């Protein structure tokens, strides 16, 4: 019972946050709503017993990505005229497409018999993650670090003032 | 001494057993959680009041004055007078402020400050939640503070507040990287992210002796993370008239103040837990040792403030990215190598020592060699 | 326990909301936020499947961590591009960035 209440609470936070992100006119507020949504998803991770991922979610999405976005909004602030239109002319088409996609996904999710296995989470998830990063997934791990390095250098070069 | 050690957990158990007599088990669990949370909050408020007085007293002594001495004997009741003053002060909301953000920022900034204490081990058996990802949890919460600071800076509708917010977040960001790397070398040496296990790994030698470079990096970053002098640019009164909390008064300002002091105390507690052996110590009960060590660290923080002049923003950022980050990486490399060596405890300890001295010495030499003369002027 | 499909529904909702944001926003930063929402939805799916289908196989979590890393890289480069466009063209509105139009 407590589980269900917590689930509803966190998914409400995530979804209301997400709706505010795409509907709020002031961009700074919508970035903060994005933070709210991230926190809701982190809560869902905790319910899924992936505490490590919840901590990563807070650390990287809230602590880094959201702050980068807020920074970018602050740097481009004199364009943030609250009277300007925040949405383009096709917003209703977009709403239709998104709504239709959700209906399709919902129909699919509710119909497919998912192969659920009621197993407990192993004790040493973090150790397992660590060893799979330097074992089974070594190449993707190295590629990800090269990607991050490239992104770091690329971002500095693109955004640098000449 | 055994009795003193087990006194608080024992008390908790008795209360829980008594409650379970007439309440369902889950309700008792919830009640115990709430009680522990409230106790921690209460403790922190008392600690912050004590810290404000201590800081002013110690700074006064270091600057050859008396410090507060009017209210009560030796000025002991000064913090209560301060709290009363802050509570009755008029709450001002600027005309151009974004009302919602201006209201929410001080609320959000205290949340991570309190939440950190859930995982810090006060004593052998005194830890609210011994998470196995405690270290990651602390780092993650530290980064949430930046959101509140940006909200305050933006929501105040004041250009100085905005500048202060920018500065604060740039600083927090830059110092989080070497901080995390320094913690990482401790985690590698201890082989766990649980703070309780890290404390237990520090016997016979605490990590300050095995990882002196990581200790120094962590301490410097800790000072920077809490916006304390000499890294107090975000709230530099003489440059940007107090930074992101300039438009706050009364209780809301007190929230920022509270968060800052709790964070100072938390960083001291983290230094103690990660490097100084946590609650370990002879004779006295563990939590007494913990508070003695934390008090010493807090004194060092105050001492720092009284000794060093404020840095310039470019010096601050350069110091982090061009000195601390490479040094922390080198230290991480040394730690990784030593962890893999098959040397036994004392062999590893001496290898850590040699590696740390080498990395630190090399870094300092390079710093002296390549610092342009005009950067020092 | 909460059934798997509830998590999937939440993730689907997040994905569609993010999609709407990407399609309807004029501001490039707003579009980026929509993309982040969609990536979050994907992650939620990965973790939910890991938990319900086979918790002893960690590849779901590993993938989620890769997605987070990629999202971080994407945000950094994307925002750098936005700042650069803002500097050169004085706008962050995607409809006005039409340098490539013939």
pLDDT tens profile B66-78: 878 777 787 788 8
The pLDDT of residue B1 is 46
The Cα A32–Cα B101 span in angstroms is: 9
Which chain B residues are Cβ-neighbours of A64 within 8 angstroms?
Answer: 143, 173
Domains and CATH numbers, chain C: 4-89 (1.10.287.3510)
Asked if A148 has any chain C CB less than 8 Å from its own CB, the reply is yes
The pLDDT of residue A83 is 64
Q: Where does CATH 1.20.120.1200 sit in chain A?
A: 1-101
| Per-residue pLDDT reduced to its tens digit, B158-189 | 778 888 888 888 888 888 889 989 898 888 88
The answer to whether the CB atoms of B144 and A55 lie below 8 A apart is: no
Mean of per-residue pLDDT scores for chain B:
81
State what percent of residues in chain B have pLDDT above 70: 94
* Domain boundaries defined on chain B: 1-88, 91-376
pLDDT at residue B145 is higher than 60: yes
Asked if A124 has any chain C CB less than 8 Å from its own CB, the reply is no
CB B86 within 8 A of CB B250: yes
Asked if the ipTM is above 0.85, the reply is yes
What tens-digit pLDDT sequence spans chain A (162 residues)? Answer: 778 888 889 999 999 999 998 888 888 888 889 999 999 999 999 888 888 889 889 888 988 889 888 888 888 776 656 666 767 778 888 888 889 998 998 888 888 888 777 777 777 888 888 888 888 889 989 999 999 999 988 888 887 776
Task: Match domain A1-101 to its CATH number in 1.10.10.10, 1.20.120.1200, 3.30.540.10, 3.40.190.10.
Answer: 1.20.120.1200
Could you tell me which chain B residue has the CA closest to the CA of A29? B101
**C-alpha distances in Å from residue B361, one per residue of B214, B348, B353:** 13, 19, 12
CB A132 within 8 A of CB C62: yes
Could you tell me which chain B residue has the CA closest to the CA of A58? B140
pLDDT at residue B95 is higher than 70: yes
Task: Choose from A44-53, B6-15, B332-341, C10-19 the range with maximum mean pLDDT.
Answer: C10-19
The Cα B31–Cα B16 span in angstroms is: 9
To the nearest 10 degrees (0 to 180), the angle between helices B286-307 and B250-275 is: 110
The pLDDT of residue B376 is 58
CB pairs under 8 A between A and C: 236
**Both tokens assigned to C57:** 């196989």
- Which chains contact A through at least 3 pairs of Cβ atoms less than 8 Å apart? B, C
Collapsing DSSP to helix, strand or coil, B211 comes out as: coil
Collapsing DSSP to helix, strand or coil, B373 comes out as: helix
Which chain B residues are Cβ-neighbours of A66 within 8 angstroms?
Answer: 147
Average pLDDT over residues B37-42: 86
Q: pLDDT band at residue B327, thresholds of 50, 70 and 90?
A: confident
The Cα B179–Cα B145 span in angstroms is: 15
The pLDDT of residue B330 is 85
State what percent of residues in chain B have pLDDT above 90: 1
């Amino acid at each position: 019972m407590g589980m269900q209440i917590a689930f509803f609470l966190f998914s409400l936070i995530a979804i209301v946050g997400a709706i505010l992100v795409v509907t709020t006119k002031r961009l700074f507020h919508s970035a903060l709503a994005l933070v709210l949504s991230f926190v809701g998803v982190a809560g869902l991770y905790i319910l899924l017993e992936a505490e490590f991922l919840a901590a990563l979610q807070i650390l990287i999405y809230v602590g880094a990505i959201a702050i980068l976005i807020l920074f970018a909004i602050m740097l481009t602030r004199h364009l943030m005229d609250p009277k300007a239109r925040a949405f383009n002319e096709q917003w209703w088409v977009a709403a239709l497409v998104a709504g239709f996609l959700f209906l399709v996904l919902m129909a699919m999710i509710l119909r497919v018999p998912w192969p659920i296995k009621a197993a407990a989470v192993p004790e040493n998830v973090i150790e397992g993650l660590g060893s799979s990063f330097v074992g089974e997934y070594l190449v993707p791990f190295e590629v990800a670090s090269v990607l991050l390095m490239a992104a770091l250098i690329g971002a500095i070069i693109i955004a640098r003032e000449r | 001494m055994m009795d003193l050690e087990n006194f608080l957990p024992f008390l908790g158990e008795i209360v829980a057993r008594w409650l379970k007599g007439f309440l369902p088990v889950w309700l008792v669990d919830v009640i115990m959680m709430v009680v522990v949370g409230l106790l921690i909050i209460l403790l922190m408020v008392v600690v912050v009041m004590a810290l404000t007085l201590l800081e002013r007293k110690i700074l006064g002594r270091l600057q050859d004055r008396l410090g507060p001495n009017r209210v009560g004997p030796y000025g002991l009741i000064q913090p209560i007078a301060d709290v009363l003053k802050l509570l009755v002060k008029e709450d001002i909301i600027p005309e151009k402020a974004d009302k919602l953000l201006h209201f929410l920022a001080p609320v959000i900034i205290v949340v991570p400050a309190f939440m950190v204490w859930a995982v810090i081990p006060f004593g052998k058996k005194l830890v609210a939640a011994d998470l196995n990802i405690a270290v990651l949890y602390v780092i993650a919460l530290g980064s949430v503070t930046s959101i509140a600071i940006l909200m305050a800076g933006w929501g105040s509708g004041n250009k100085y507040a905005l500048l202060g917010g920018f500065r604060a977040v740039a600083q927090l960001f830059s110092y989080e990287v070497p901080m995390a790397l320094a913690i990482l070398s401790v985690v590698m040496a201890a082989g766990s992210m649980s703070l309780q296990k890290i404390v237990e790994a520090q016997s016979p030698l605490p990590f300050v002796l095995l990882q002196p470079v990581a200790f120094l990096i962590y301490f410097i970053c800790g000072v920077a993370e809490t916006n304390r002098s000499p890294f107090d640019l975000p709230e530099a009164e003489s440059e940007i008239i107090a930074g992101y909390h300039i438009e706050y008064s009364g209780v809301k300002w007190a929230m920022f103040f509270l968060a800052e002091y709790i964070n100072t105390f938390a960083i001291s507690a983290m230094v103690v837990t990660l490097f100084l052996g946590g609650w370990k110590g002879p004779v006295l009960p563990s939590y007494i040792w913990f508070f003695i060590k934390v008090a010493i660290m807090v004194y060092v923080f105050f001492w720092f403030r009284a000794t060093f002049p404020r840095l310039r923003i470019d010096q601050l950022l350069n110091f982090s990215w061009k000195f601390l980050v490479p040094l922390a990486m080198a230290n991480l490399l040394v730690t990784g190598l030593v962890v893999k060596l098959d040397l036994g405890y004392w062999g590893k300890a001496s290898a850590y020592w040699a590696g740390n001295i080498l990395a630190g010495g090399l870094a300092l030499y390079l710093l002296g060699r390549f610092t342009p003369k005009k950067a020092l002027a | 326990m909460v059934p798997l499909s509830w998590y999937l529904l939440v993730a689907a909702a997040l994905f569609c909301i993010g999609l709407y944001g990407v399609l309807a926003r004029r501001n490039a930063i707003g579009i980026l936020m929509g993309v982040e929402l969609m990536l979050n939805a994907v992650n939620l799916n990965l973790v939910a499947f890991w938990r319900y289908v086979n918790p002893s196989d960690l590849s779901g979590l590993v993938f989620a961590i890769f997605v987070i890393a990629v999202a971080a890289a994407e945000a950094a480069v994307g925002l750098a591009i936005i700042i650069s466009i803002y500097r050169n063209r004085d706008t962050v509105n995607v409809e006005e960035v039409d340098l490539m139009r013939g």
